[in-house]
Structure 1
Amino acid sequence: MTGGAGTGPVIVRVDRDRCIGSGMCARSAPDSLALGADGLAAPLAEYGDRGAELTEELAEAVDFCPVEALTLHAARGGYRIDPAE
């Protein structure tokens, strides 16, 4: 994880073309991510809209995604935090 403490609110984006619905993210960060009715990852409301504070669990969920379908972006400025491009 290249970001971390001090990054401010973050937004989670899910690349729905890459997501395979493994569920690792939802198990790692159940307060941040869930599998939707279609079986694919979806951020919970606060992480998909205006952003919420980055948690260790969310950072791990992004890192654990086996197909790198999750990315973290700064809610202020929109720049990509993790994974690094």
Structure 2
Amino acid sequence: MSPVKIEVDVERCVGAGMCALTAPAVFTQDDDGFSVVLTGQEASDEPHPLVRDAVRACPVSAVSLRTEE
């Protein structure tokens, strides 16, 4: 199984915070209110169980999962 990388498109993010509310162990917001993946959570073979919910919760689709090869 290839590692899965969690990404936040900073150009698309509007700071709604749904990812941080849905998966606070994985996401936070920076000083400007935009979403950031917490250190150590960026990639793993099995992402946190709530990450997929956070991807769906983002109102502007700024959060995504990508399989690393």
TM-score range, shorter chain: 0.7 to 0.9
Equivalent AA in structure 2 for residue 54 of structure 1: P
CA RMSD of aligned residues (A): 1.5
Q: 1:8·1:54 contact (CA, 8 Å) conserved in 2?
A: no
Cα separation, 1, equivalents of 2:15 and 2:39: 19
**CA drift at 1:56:** 2.3
Deviation at 1:31, TM superposition (A): 0.5
Query: After TM superposition, what 4+ stretches of structure 1 lie above 4 angstroms from structure 2?
Result: none
Partner of 2:40: 46
**Hey, what does 2:20 align to over in structure 1?**
26
Q: Which runs of 5+ in 2 are unaligned?
A: none
- Cα offset, 1:17, TM superposition: 1.0
The residue matched to 1:13 in structure 2 has which SS? strand
Q: Is the 8 A contact 1:28 1:60 kept in 2?
A: yes
Which residue does the alignment assign to 2:48?
A: 55
Aligned partner of residue 45 in structure 1, secondary structure: coil
Structure 1: runs of 5 or more not aligned: 1-6, 78-85
2:64 to 61, 71, 75: 71
Normalised by the size of structure 1, how large is the TM-score? Answer: 0.71
Aligned length: 68
